[in-house]
Amino acid sequence: MNFQQLRIVRETVRRGFNLTAVGNALFTSQSGVSKHIKDLEDEIGLELFVRRGKRLLGLTEPGKEVAAMVERMLLDATNIKRLAEQYASADSGQLTVATTHTQARYALPQVVTAFKRAYPRVHLKLHQGSPAEIVQMLLDGEADIGIATEAIADIPDLVSFPYYSWRHIVVVPVGHPLAEMEKPALADVAEYPIITYHEGITGRARIDNTFAAAGLAPEIVMSALDADVIKSYVELGLGVGIIAPMAFDPARDIHLVRLETDAPLFAENVSRIAARRGQYLRGFAYRFMEFASPELTEERVIASLAVDASTIV
């Protein structure tokens, strides 16, 4: 048994049992992948995969247990390397943070600035993606920390912590009829075409649920990943914008007006910081979390990573 065989088992599961994709991912041939799998099965005396001819269709029952063990073994092998790096050079290396555009653009600049001042020799890699992509990067070990509003709170293999809470706001062009109203209500907003985020990102589900709960069916005429794009088309008069509050800057967005209301129109969202359970984090990763939220001390995060997922708040 060797690490290449274990990597092939893990990658075969991740790539949906497509051996060509496994070979491409691990820079080897499809025949080489097949041979490694067969050699491992012969060595341990178990068939790990369900087959139809030369095709792999899934995992056998013992294969499922072995795949889980392989994940733990390879995770621990990576942890050993990271532990060695930590002791060899505590203030240099690479930290990969997977996050959404909204977090990277509006929530993290001050955090990143403080971190880079404290750790100038650490290469900080910000990877922007959807919440689903962020989750997958964390689970695959491609990211150390994930930050998003959706998805990461419900994954058993991830530990997540509240970062900050926020509510969507409504922005309109200067001179828009809603801007002339003293305290517009949700029903007033629903009278106009809406421009907001794509489904599945930046709290879009809460926007939809808020309108539905009020019995309203607004016309969503455009959706985008980026608040800056949303604001651009709102400025052009194509619709009313619903965005995250940190994306609005009165000094910069001089052609837009943020609506003032008696009470918040939308439900609260909570953006969260997450890490993979069982993954060894370098000391500077804990410091990044603490820069983001002072309550996330290294001691607290380490303790949470070590307990059952159902106990995480």
User: Could you give the CA distance from residue 288 to residue 286 in angstroms, rounded to a whole number?
Assistant: 5
With a pLDDT cut of 70, the percent of the chain lying above it is: 98
Q: Is residue 247 within 8 Å of 258, Cβ to Cβ?
A: no
**Tokens of residue 106, six digits:** 């509006």
Residue 79 or 135, more confident: 135
Look at residues 144, 101, 95, 157 and name the one whose alpha carbon lies nearest to residue 123: 95
Q: For the chain, list the domains and their CATH numbers.
A: 3-82 (1.10.10.10), 91-163+270-311 (3.40.190.10), 168-267 (3.40.190.10)
In angstroms, the Cα distances linking 75 to 80, 142, 214, 239 are 9, 11, 47, 48
Number of H helices, E strands in the chain: 13, 12
Token look-up 């029903």 returns 187
Contacts of residue 96, defined as CB under 8 A and 6 or more positions apart, other chains included, come to: 125, 127, 137, 142, 143, 144, 145
pLDDT digits (tens, 9 = 90+) for 123-152: 999 999 999 999 999 998 899 999 999 999
Average pLDDT, the chain: 91
**Can you state the percent helix, strand and coil of the chain, rounding each to 5?**
45, 20, 35
CA dihedral 221, 223, 229, 235 (to 10 degrees): 20
**Checking DSSP bridges between strand 93-99 and strand 122-128, what pairing results, if any?**
parallel
Alpha helices in 89-158 (DSSP H): 101-102, 109-118, 131-139
pLDDT above 80 (res 260) = yes
Amino acid identity for residue 274 in this structure: A
Query: And the tokens for 30?
Result: 């499809």
> 131: burial class by Cβ within 10 Å (0-12, 13-18, 19+)?
buried
pLDDT classification of 307: cutoffs 50, 70, 90 = low
pTM for this prediction: 0.80
Report percent pLDDT > 90 for the chain: 71
pLDDT in tens, 100-113: 998 999 999 999 99
* pLDDT at residue 25 in the model: 87
Q: Strand locations in 150-231, DSSP E?
A: 158-166, 169-173, 194-197, 220-224
Instruction: Determine the average pLDDT of the residues in 234-238.
Output: 96
